[in-house]
Structure 1
């Protein structure tokens, strides 16, 4: 596996780990902020719309905490040129993986 492929795999794994292991605390208001990567911003915009419009209030806090941690990870990755280059694909993968989860709320990803 090439260095770029390893970087992408590590970044995607880190994003998924943060999402899976995050706590349910925190407001997660950052989901409305831009990362500066089209694929990431598109994903975050769709998640924010879903959370605000379709997710039941009782489930929003946990999902917002997950997305907030994902946002933090991606925002930090933009500072490193190698990681930044891997973000478009990592965000596209995250959006594809979230499609099924958010479909249960009636959201199109």
Structure 2
């Protein structure tokens, strides 16, 4: 089951390829906090994302998403899902979507961004 855009206090979030049309809706979790957790599980230490409306994901995280095999994605989903109250299978599917988005971006020499917007 694919999660739709989150509505956390009126905030909608999407991961997207900067110069493309591909995107993945965030779901019902804090994407900035998730990026930190994913980075840590991938054995990378990274500071939280800035509070800007649009930010690029760290290159190291994008690289990890690109090269992550199913076993690695399993480990990340297993560690992250309980932190956001998400089922393992849903978390795994979401990370697989993000991995695909990262591969698309890298194949185009582009980057993956996160957009957080408040509805009008």
Under a length normalisation based on structure 2, what TM-score does the superposition of the two structures give? 0.32
Under a length normalisation based on structure 1, what TM-score does the superposition of the two structures give? 0.34
Indicate the structure with greater strand content. Answer: 2
